[in-house]
Amino acid sequence: MLQLSGVDVRYGQIQAVHSIDLKVDAGQLVTILGANGAGKSSTLRTIAGLVRPSAGEIRLDGVQIDGLPPERIARLGLSFVPEGRGILTTLTVEENLRVAAIGARATSDFDGRRDDVFKVFPVLGERRKALAGLLSGGEQQQLALGRAMIHKARLLLLDEPSLGLAPLLRDLVFAQIVRLRDQGATVVLVEQDARRALAIADWAFVLNGGRKVLDLPASEALSSYRELEAAYMGSARH
Amino acid sequence: MAEVLQQLVNAVSLGAVYALMALGLALVYSVLGLINFAHGELMTIAAYTLVFSSAAHVPLAIGLALAIGASVVAAVLMERIVFRPVRGSGPMTLLLTSVAISIMIQTAFQMLISPLPRGADLPDFLYQAFDLGPVRLGVLPLISATTAIAGSWIVVKALRATNIGISIRASAENFTITRLLGVPAQRVVIWTFVLSGAVAGLAGVIWMAQRGSVDPLMGSTPLLKAFVATVLGGLGSVPGAILGGFALGAAEIVLQAFLPPELLPFRDAIVFALVIAVLTVRPRGLLPAKLGERV
């Protein structure tokens, strides 16, 4: 589904990602772990087309996507929810969903898809006419996932979806991530709550200093989590 | 009372035209961070098109359509040829680019057409007036105000209710997020220029009809007023631009009517001083554009 080979990412003089290889199979939920600054967000932003890799290539279902503009990559079926959720605060809840439908060229099917989102996240239906900037953090995260649902993305990249959410809302967000995977989406999850991410993931990649250091089934990572945390996530404790 | 009503009509009429011009500037600024100083030349292009088509005995309605069409085409070409190569550059580059293209178009008019004003051969009824109770209404100010208000209203409505309008508003808040959702950046930018060209064209023919002629520098004064109106209303905010336009029009009319004659030459200076006073209290304008989260 998604394949990165030898990807380097540079911001000017600073190299954030060193020759990373990743392979994600269709239908999998994988999580990328690592301390702050390990290169997790840079990797996601590069896959989504916000940053051009300085070396290597990225393929989505065999199609080379590195170098394409973000909207082209999105239209190939990839949906990236950046950290901070990327809500359009001056638009209403429903308009946020409509922008996703416009982007997915699915405006003729919008009403149906929107109602599906409202079924999963009833609070969005209740507040559909409200400005998205007035929603709580949890509601905004639901809206971000709702936009990904409108997109019917085949590949979902989520950067810190549970950051800043109350425990109850985290449960809802994690449940929805699992549901999206069960409905056939492939998910790449970067998550501060690493244990919880591993509990729902199939596979895990561990990054350290911009390099991939481990590539293993999530269950193995979970059973050796203490060692893993001590070795690679020391500075990630909040 | 009649005097106040009369001035109110004048204020609305002038304010509506300023609002229409400011709206076009604000649209482009909101999406691209570009203050298009060549917006005034789009107005001039529309005015020349109408003057030449009326000289060629083209019916007025068709002439108007041609005028607005010419301004739209010019705006789209301007985007393609001039602004696309500098997209994403710093504000100073964008500013100087737009000033440069503005001067180039003015010079082209001077060399290819004539530096002298060219009179408009418009129907006489436009310049008549009639009494409505105590208020004397000019036909042209009335038409100007209604079309300018209608034009602004249509654009505002389109921004709320159409897919392209919603995409423009989304891009104005956060272009990166909008593109991540799959909306093509290029299409949004082109449509923004189409809308801005259309309102510039409409404003251009109204402005030209009011002064009775067009010359190569016709767009300079309205551009300045529109710029002041957008800053007053809140740079990048469409409702702000409209409010700023009406506020500026009202201030000019009030001062024109009530200033002692010896101070009248300083009217614009006083208006701008008032604008500066407002901006010291509200530095981001009357209705600031909200800053979106950046990725």
pLDDT in tens, B253-265: 999 888 898 888 8
* pLDDT score recorded for residue B293: 34
C-alpha–C-alpha distance, residues B217 and A73, integer Å: 45
- Nearest residue to B15 via CA among B202, B200, B144, B140: B144
Q: What mean pLDDT comes out for the span A1-28?
A: 90
**Could you read off the pLDDT of B152-205 as tens digits, one per residue?**
999 999 999 999 999 999 999 999 999 999 999 999 999 999 999 999 999 999
State the DSSP string of A29-64.
EEEEE--TTSSHHHHHHHHHTSS--SEEEEEETTEE
Q: Measured between CA atoms, how close is B246 to chain A, in angstroms?
A: 24
**Could you read off the pLDDT of A96-151 as tens digits, one per residue?**
999 999 999 989 999 999 999 999 899 999 999 999 999 988 899 999 999 999 98
pTM for this model (two decimals): 0.89
Do the beta carbons of residue B155 and residue B201 sit within 8 Å? no
Q: Please report the number of interchain residue pairs, chain A to chain B, with beta-carbon separation below 8 angstroms.
A: 86
* pLDDT score recorded for residue B295: 35
pLDDT at B266 over 60: yes
> Which residues touch B186 (CB under 8 Å, ≥6 apart)?
none
User: What is the average pLDDT score of chain B?
Assistant: 91
State the DSSP string of B219-244.
THHHHHHHHHHHHHH-TT-HHHHHHH
Tell me which chain A residue has its CA closest to the CA of residue B163: A102
pLDDT at A227 over 90: no
Q: What percent of chain B has pLDDT over 90?
A: 73
Q: Measured between CA atoms, how close is A88 to chain B, in angstroms?
A: 6
Q: Measured between CA atoms, how close is A220 to chain B, in angstroms?
A: 34
Helix (H, G, I), strand (E, B) or coil at A6: strand
Residue A64 pLDDT level (bands cut at 50, 70, 90)? very high
Q: Is A89 near chain B, with CB under 8 Å?
A: yes
Cβ within 8 Å, pair A98-B163: yes
Our measurement of the distance from residue A190's CA atom to the centroid of its chain's CA atoms, rounded to an integer in Å, reads 7
Q: Is A99 near chain B, with CB under 8 Å?
A: yes
Q: What mean pLDDT comes out for the span B99-110?
A: 96
* pLDDT score recorded for residue A236: 44
- Measured CA to CA in angstroms, residue B124 lies from A20, B47, B138, B140, B203 at distances of 75, 18, 12, 10, 20
- Of the listed ranges A210-224, B55-69, B149-163, the least confidently predicted one is A210-224
Q: What percent of chain A has pLDDT over 70?
A: 98
Cβ within 8 Å, pair A89-B184: no
* pLDDT score recorded for residue B290: 63
* pLDDT score recorded for residue B4: 82
Do the beta carbons of residue A6 and residue A57 sit within 8 Å? yes
Q: Measured between CA atoms, how close is A104 to chain B, in angstroms?
A: 6
- Tell me what ipTM this predicted complex has: 0.90
Burial of residue B87 (number of CB atoms within 10 Å: 0-12, 13-18, 19+) = middle
Chain A residues with beta carbon closer than 8 angstroms to that of B173: 88-91
- Biggest distance spanned by C-alpha atoms of chain A: 51
Q: Is A133 near chain B, with CB under 8 Å?
A: yes
